[in-house]
Amino acid sequence: MATKKKSAKLLRCPTCAQLVQFSDEDFPFCSDRCRKIDLGKWASGVYKISSPILDPDVLEDLGGMGGDRGSNDE
């Protein structure tokens, strides 16, 4: 028999695999930081990084180098 799920949807953050609630403003990421890290992966990782980098600061640095920082408002 099927297990009834709760109304709250959960997904794992693509960056750090933490559980994220559907209602979270940064869904499907657990935080704005993880969202930027993921974007950085796509922006720079596809071209020159073939092995996973676990240091978020490195990824943020790469992300800042590649594109404009117009949306990096914190």
**Which residues face 19 on adjacent strands?**
12
Query: Helix, strand or coil for residue 46?
Result: helix
Which own/partner contact pairs does 9-17 have at CB distance under 8 Å and 24+ positions apart? 14/38
Query: Minimum Å distance from CB 46 to Zn ion?
Result: 20
How many other C-beta atoms are found inside a 10 Å radius of the C-beta of residue 51? 6
Query: Minimum Å distance from CB 4 to Zn ion?
Result: 27
Q: Which 17-56 residues touch Zn ion, going by CB under 5 A?
A: 18, 30, 34
Q: Which stretch binds Zn ion (CB under 5 A): 10-18, 38-46, 48-56, 57-65?
A: 10-18
Cβ closest to Zn ion, residue 16 vs residue 43: 16
